[in-house]
Amino acid sequence: MEKITVKGVGAVKTKPDYVEILLSLNVVDKDYTAAVNKANEKIEKLQSALSAVGYAKDDLKTLNFNVSTEYDYVQKNDRSERVFRGYNCSYSLKLGFDFTAKALANTLTAIANSGADAEFSIRFTVKEPEKVSEALLASATENARKKAEILCKASGKTLGELVSIDYNWSEISVYSDSNYALAAAPKMMLADACVPEFTPDDIDSSDSVAFVWEIN
């Protein structure tokens, strides 16, 4: 029994409909408890500011929490000595919401004016990535069958029964290549008028599947 193996490639272009804002907060203090408390106060400021524009308290998700020690190196008596600087308490947070220009502007302004001194970056994605995956698989399947039929026709053969499908269930990228990063945002953005107009690029996703058919 003769067989043919074909790799199908699927490609889908999707408009972003969801925004993820990744925030980082850092506080350094020589007292451990003070460092943690000050960081928590910054989070409370963020939560309060976001609540004022319609977000619930638990919309702000914690991705990572870490406390580490920091040291400075100083020259003393012709030698470098390590001097304890303090405890660095850091939070990594994420806020996700449906993308509209108005929602983005309101959210950025709220964060900027919260007094939390958060650094953040923004990425544009889709709310339902599973639909993108389904569309990619359908596209890859159609692409593979078309290739197989062309090859069979050119070889004087006909495509038979499907024998097997080989697919690697890896995570598909569903993020726009558009970059929107704002460091030290509170100093830059003090009013709605300071929020840049921004239209993210479409998301280009691809995936592949290998098929084996009988040929007659």
pLDDT digits (tens, 9 = 90+) for 104-113: 989 999 998 9
DSSP E strands, the chain: 2-14, 18-29, 60-76, 79-98, 119-125, 159-166, 180-182, 203-215
d(C-alpha 149, C-alpha 34), whole Å: 69
pLDDT at residue number 187: 45
> Rounded distance, CA 122 to CA 180, Å?
5
pLDDT at 184: 47
pLDDT at residue 102 tops 70: yes
Cα–Cα distances in angstroms (integers) from residue 116 to residues 59, 90, 104, in the given order: 17, 13, 18
Residue pair 171/131 in contact by the 8 Å Cβ criterion: no
pLDDT of residue 81: 87
For the domain made up of 2-215, give the CATH fold: Alpha-Beta Plaits (3.30.70)
Query: What span, in angstroms and rounded, lies between the C-alpha atoms of 55 and 49?
Result: 9
